Structure 1
């Protein structure tokens, strides 16, 4: 099937024979952080090396939402619909308020600066979970070289008290994050040590403890090939749709590959949106793509 690689017959029902990969816009440097705003019918996404957040809509195409933007990476929305963004240059997680002002939610832990927050998700209880590898401060291309003051970790930020806790600290390079639809699992990508000859790269999965504030039983979920997982999302059945070097891979909750959407560039991140959350927006290197699929992205509890 052109444009798709069906590995397991279950993937066939996700594929629409008359829906092809669409190029929405190009000419960027490295795209990341896609987040769909259904109430505005638009997609926000990051062009990290160009230090800007962009806005795409069917009616208006691509427009600059914010520039300079602090070399933004991963983004999501909180329970009140506000934009949450990871910033490399400021080494912070920030929130864009309804009036457009920006509030710094986290930029230090135990008195020392964070590395370069990379990806972020918000749980049903409003808590903010984010990864903090040093990628954004290791080069001048995505934020500017700075000294690392922290190990690579994943943090949880309490929305009421502002308290931060470490929920995972045994990663070389924690990256993409995604809760399962019922929030009983948290998937975390480890993209390894940058510039290493053989970096540790896989998706791990953790059980979320009954309190909803801690993780346990971390184990390897899936090894993406070719390339590695960066950002990913779950559909409403709990399948993981992840970035890879050759496109988007769909993996079932047991960790088995179902199939691939083939994309002509390395994919960094993706999200579901548009009508009924069944259009997949794909940030692939310098180009923004989209494709309709016969599956809906998970809706938060």
Structure 2
């Protein structure tokens, strides 16, 4: 365990060039930081209840903000640029998780979880809880998928020809969706397919892919590891609370940083992440 002073942690992202981990502490409305020498602290207060985080192609921090109801980018000089805060003239729900493709397009999920909890009196303006894509050239926000119940974590395969998206609607009651879907991605950023890749025992949330194309997916008090053909090939288990998210990183790149509840954990693994370090 690296840290136990959060409340509900999420969105770990590793900066290999800085040897720095950032993650979200949602109810406390802050982003936290940690370095391998054991130094830690607050990276940003008033994070607008940040949840998922990622890095773009220039190494900048991209963040989903619940109470901001937007996706933002932190520039090199610390300025914050709004990437997306509306679709079709209406506010987003509460962006949850985000990934950045090598072409610069930004993909994020927009369930209403954060709107319920972190935006008192906030009115839902989007009829659906969608997966969105932000065009890298124009900044236009478009719906990538509109048939999810509660879209949550997402991750690209190493070659970016596949996109995995979790549906965590089981949080709202038994019998609701608790699975991961897989889409094929064409050169123009359009998706096809969308079949169920894996049904999960435990709430499916954040995910990452390793360099062999295996999917590491949070699922209750464990992380399930799936081969590219959908076979469950391993688990990292016995966490004391539901895992919310994970990322690869560390000095040698062979650790996973895991968030959940008040905690941040580090686990040595025999794999390395495919995402930008």
Query: Does TM, scored on the shorter chain, surpass 0.5?
Result: yes
Greater CA deviation, 189-198 or 175-184? 189-198
1:100 — aligned with what?
78
Correspondence for 2:14 among 2, 23, 36: 36
1:155 — aligned with what?
132
Change (3 A) 1:259 1:145: farther
Regions of 4+ moved over 4 Å:
none
Contact 1:95 1:102 survives alignment (8 Å): yes
Deviation at 1:63, TM superposition (A): 0.6
Q: SS at the partner of 1:137?
A: helix
Correspondence for 2:23 among 45, 52, 63: 45
**Pairing 1:172–2:142 present:** no
Contact 2:215 2:225 survives alignment (8 Å): yes
Contact 1:135 1:194 survives alignment (8 Å): no
Contact 2:49 2:65 survives alignment (8 Å): yes
2:267 — aligned with what?
291
| CA distance in structure 1 between the aligned counterparts of 2:194 and 2:43, rounded to whole angstroms | 38
Change (3 A) 1:216 1:92: same
Count how many residue pairs are aligned between Structure 1 and Structure 2. Answer: 275
Contact 2:181 2:198 survives alignment (8 Å): yes
Q: SS at the partner of 1:25?
A: coil
Q: TM-score, normalised on structure 1?
A: 0.88
Structure 1: give runs of 5+ residues left out of the alignment. 1-22
Correspondence for 1:280 among 256, 261, 264: 256
Contact 2:158 2:211 survives alignment (8 Å): yes
Correspondence for 1:234 among 206, 209, 212: 209
Change (3 A) 1:182 1:50: same
Contact 1:181 1:300 survives alignment (8 Å): no
| CA distance in structure 2 between the aligned counterparts of 1:185 and 1:35, rounded to whole angstroms | 21
2:172 — aligned with what?
195
Alignment of 1:49-64 (within 5 A): 49-64=27-42
Which structure has the larger Rg?
1
1:148-191: per-residue Cα shift (whole Å, max 9, x none)? 11110011101221111111000001000100000000000001
| CA distance in structure 2 between the aligned counterparts of 1:257 and 1:106, rounded to whole angstroms | 35
Contact 2:36 2:250 survives alignment (8 Å): no
1:138 — aligned with what?
116
| CA distance in structure 1 between the aligned counterparts of 2:176 and 2:244, rounded to whole angstroms | 17
1:253-295: per-residue Cα shift (whole Å, max 9, x none)? 1111111111222100000001342111000221100011111
Structure 2: give runs of 5+ residues left out of the alignment. none
